[in-house]
Amino acid sequence: MPLKTGERDRCATGLEGLDTILYGGIPRSNTVLLTGSCGTGKTSLALEFLIHGAQKGENSLFVSVTENSEKLLANIIPYKFFDKSLIKSGRLVFVDLPIMYERLGMTKAELSMEEIDLLVAAISDLVTELGTKRLVIDSITSVCYKLKTSEKIRDFILKLGKSLSDLNCTTILVGEVSAESTSYSSFGVEEAIADGIVLMANMERRGDLLRTLQVIKMRGTMHSRAKYVLDLTPMGVLLVPLLKGGSTA
């Protein structure tokens, strides 16, 4: 049974292992950076977070930045618990950010400060309209490429985080880093302003490529900082503690 710390309402991710690590879930209205190199399972984990939320009746929104969301849906892991009616009923909504860029006339390579405010407002408006309680932006790194400077990235994430937090929305920002990176984020700024960081990685062990997950930081709760091995299965994400002894890794 997950321990309740009592002070803050939790947004249970529905991923059993992760909720255990977080003593019950992500403190509600936190903005969490879910970061890792490619193929580490970030999008799958984020999707599962939304699906579990939608099933519990929390409106969930997936904002796709790089991939067309229809394509993404076609490639979705055939989760046993995934039910297409969640999309029909509007509990789970997919939106392509590039369309929002187009609507707002943000076709230039770099956004101005004014446009950042507009983008934050547009996302917040959408969250208000849909009554979204769980939001995923995949990936925040792609948005950052349109912001260019660290001042703008800082400004964007701070304002977005504040606005979503006021709307009581729990947010996962998916970040991409290269496998060799020592930083948790591509621009080095995102990690400093997020309320939490969950790091996903690949690890080679005895010829196997393992996926790992580690909660680096999470404001508002105690959490384990241990590295877990993650397995993507049709039943969802499975997490087991990484055995430290006996291996050559």
User: Which residues of this chain interact with another protein, rule CB under 8 A?
Assistant: 93, 95-96, 99-100, 102-105, 107, 118, 121-122, 125-126, 129-130
Nearest approach, Cβ of residue 205 and another protein (Å):
43
Per the listing, tokens 């409106």 go with 59
Distance CA 22, CA 214 (A): 11
CA–CA separation, 221 and 234 (whole Å) = 29
Q: What is the largest CA-CA distance in the chain?
A: 57
- For helices 113-130 and 150-166, the axis angle rounded to 10 degrees is 20
Q: Which is nearer to another protein, 114 or 180 (CB)?
A: 114
DSSP 61: E
CA distance 28 to 22: 12
Residue 122 Cβ vs another protein, minimum distance, rounded to whole Å: 5
**Cα 119-143-93 angle, rounded to 5 deg:** 70
Smallest separation (angstroms) from another protein to the CB of 100: 6
The nearer residue to another protein, 103 or 206, going by C-beta atoms, is 103
Closer of 163 and 202 to another protein (Cβ): 163
Least distance between another protein and beta carbon 108 (Å): 10
Alpha helix locations (H) across 89-171?
Answer: 97-103, 113-130, 140-145, 150-166
What count of Cα atoms within 13 Å lies in the side-chain half-sphere of residue 51? 21
Which of 80/108 has CB closer to another protein?
Answer: 108
Of 130, 57, 56, 142, nearest to 95 by C-alpha is 130
Nearer to another protein, 7 or 114 (CB): 114
In terms of C-beta density within 10 A (0-12 exposed, 13-18 middle, 19 or more buried), how is residue 104 classed?
middle
Structure tokens at 138: 């995949």
In the complex, minimum distance from the CB of residue 138 to another protein, in angstroms, rounded to a whole number: 16
Minimum gap (Å) between residue 175 Cβ and another protein? 24
Q: What's the min distance (Å) between Cβ of 166 and another protein?
A: 16
